[in-house]
Amino acid sequence: MYRVCKTFRLETGHFLTSQQTQSDCRMPHGHSRTVEIIISAENLDESNMVFDFQAFKAAFGDYLNSLDHAMYINSSSKHFKYFKDNFEKVIAFEGDPTSEVIAEVMFKHFDKVLKKGTVIKTKNNFYYKITNDIRLERVRLWETSTSWAEYSRN
């Protein structure tokens, strides 16, 4: 089995409204997050790769940009309407946007992109075909330099 990983950086804000403890995470705060996308394949493609590193950005970049510099909020929060009405980039989550939940949402989105098996165009006008042989292994989301959560199929 071959595996490749590409990392991306996101700046995000969130707060957790349903926490049982008196944690500081109940207050709006931000994170410089690192997203690791791990893809595997049993065989290499015709270019002797699992997935071209340029193709990661082409396949997932727009989605990740839509999540960057945004505030993630539980859509059931009493504060949701205020944030939605007063800020440009607010992303609603069903439940609190913990790192575990965000990793799962990202995983499901990336998995759909890969399962389409389409051709993507990179910034260098290179056309890369997503083959049926590749598999999204996991998404690991670093919340801080010492803490991460991940979501995988298994």
3-state secondary structure of 54: helix
Q: How confident is the model at residue 21 (pLDDT cuts 50, 70, 90)?
A: low
Please report, for the chain, the start and end positions of each structural domain, with discontinuous segments joined by +. Answer: 2-152
Average pLDDT, the chain: 90
**C-beta separation of 65 from 42 below 8 A:** no
3-state secondary structure of 135: strand
- pLDDT cut 70: percent of the chain above it: 97
What is the per-residue pLDDT across 92-121, written as a single tens digit (0 to 9) for each? 999 999 999 999 999 999 999 998 877 888
Fold annotation for 2-152? Tetrahydropterin Synthase; Chain A (3.30.479)
**C-beta separation of 139 from 108 below 8 A:** no
What's the average model confidence in pLDDT over 70-93? 94
d(C-alpha 64, C-alpha 8), whole Å: 8
